[in-house]
Structure 1
Amino acid sequence: MNFMNEKVFKAMSDKTRREIIELLKDGPKTAGEISDHFSSAQPTISRHLSVLKNADLVVDEREGTFIVYRLNTTILQEWLAWLLKHFGGGDRDE
């Protein structure tokens, strides 16, 4: 799981990407809907979405002429479980 954690930590290290995750918590959004929340140019937001996809934190799906982004809650849950296990202050196996 270390390779996954490295990608997720990289993705989550950026404030804009964390804000995109927050936006997607409320449900799927198109790239345009996501971009509307930021002052950055569309290509910048597309790069952020690409990093999030590379970390498997978001998935995209074409719906007609739009690409819709959704949270990959499975990866988020696995990452949060890993964080709690290693940094949660409870019992540690390692």
Structure 2
Amino acid sequence: MANVFKALGDPTRREILKLLNERDMNAGEIAERFDMSKPAITKHLDILREAELISSEKKGLFVIYSINVTVLQEALSNFISIFDKK
């Protein structure tokens, strides 16, 4: 769960999740939305993937990224349960 909160701690990664919540996208489409290098976007995508907040699938020449809402819901549920115990 620490990886999830680390990933969510960055505003760029939160914005990427918002974009992927609208539709699946490839790295180029995501990079077009930001004023930073493609390698920087790739690093953000790697962190999100390591936290299992997104998944990727090779389709032809492109890697398509999708949001994994289940992991996000689990992290939020676990976070909220901390306060329920008090």
TM-score category of the 2 structures, normalised to the smaller one: over 0.9
Superposition pairs for residues 12-51 of structure 1, below 5 Å? 12-51=8-47
Name the counterpart of 1:69. Answer: 65
- 1:77 Cα offset (Å): 1.1
Is there any run of 5+ residues in structure 1 with no aligned partner, and where? none
CA RMSD in angstroms comes to 1.1
Moved over 3 A (4+): none
Percent identity of paired positions between Structure 1 and Structure 2: 42
TM-score (norm 2): 0.94
- 1:70 Cα offset (Å): 0.2
Is there any run of 5+ residues in structure 2 with no aligned partner, and where? none
Structure 1 counterpart of 2:34, which letter?
F
- Please state whether the residue corresponding to 2:33 is helix, strand or coil: coil
Q: Deviations over 1:25-66 (max 9, x none)?
A: 101001011001000000000000000000000000001000
Name the counterpart of 1:8. Answer: 4
Higher Cα radius of gyration? 1
Superposition pairs for residues 71-90 of structure 1, below 5 Å? 71-87=67-83
Number of matched pairs: 86
